[in-house]
Amino acid sequence: MPKTSAFASELTWPDYDAAVRNGQTPILIPIGAMEQHGHHMPLHVDVLLPTEFARRVALATGALVAPPFTYGYKSHQKSGGGNHLPGTTSLDGATLVAALKDVVKEFARHGVRKLCLVNGHYENSWFIIEGIDLALRELRWDGITDLKVVVLSYWDFVHEEAIAKLYPDGFPGWAVEHGGVLETSLMLALHPHLVQLDRAVDHAPATFPPYDVYPVKPEWTPPSGTLSSPKQASVEKGEILLDVCTRGIVEALRAEFG
């Protein structure tokens, strides 16, 4: 029986098995975090966005979307406001690496040979790589050498032309986009009922010294928790981002998986 959903967890095991056991169906794993996103958005933005991108890409490519990682690595002050803020609930790096390694190995055991990790939380990046590296090493011990893994973050597909449309007054830079125009616009396009733009705090982009201090200095993070103003976010900008990023990811997976 052909698969009836883009989400692997919604299939029966025989339908899932039939879809993946020959290694031709890619599996997309969204990887997010539970992290504060200012006064105007919920804590699971970093889960909702990569999951939706994965769903759209799966429909375009015949892939399946695995259940997302809903907890991620600790929020960094210069990219997510910091792990000290209320609501942000994080994993130690070793925990994330171990969980990811196990999940990659399990999909390989099922027969999956094309895997894509869709990241929605910047701080996850290096731990994703470590989890994959350890998984591939252990799979080689079992004689599995043909698993291919693509790792990507959806925002890396936003090209200069789109940036000019999104930020006509100047782009503040990805480092301070936490809770700003990009994420808020996507949420307005996808989950408007979860956005309270009237509660968003309008402030200049955060600035930080060229070093880190631990324990963090809470005063370095804007009180809102966001690192730039989301006030210029819109549904229209969200639609631009959805189109650009989805097309970019589809093209990447076709290039790598055929």
Active site residues: 35, 37, 46, 121, 123, 178, 183
Could you tell me the strand order of the sheet in which 27-31 lies?
64-65, 27-31, 114-119, 148-153
List, in sequence order, every residue forming a beta bridge with 29; answer none if it has no partner: 117
Q: Is 77 in contact with 25 (CB distance < 8 Å)? A: no
* Residue whose token pair is 């631990």: 214
| Measured distance CA(255)–CA(257) in Å, rounded | 6
Give Cα separations from 92 to 20, 106, 175 (angstroms).
31, 22, 22
Tokens matching residue 226:
């966001």
Taking a C-beta distance cutoff of 8 angstroms, is the pair 152, 116 a contact?
yes
Cis before 192? omega within 30: no
Q: Which residue has the tokens 């999951």?
A: 51
R_g over Cα of the chain = 19
CB 26 within 8 A of CB 116: yes
What is the distance of C-alpha 220 from the center of its chain? 25
Residue in this structure with the two tokens 């990790």, named with its chain if needed: 117
CA separation for the pair 80, 38 (Å, rounded): 10
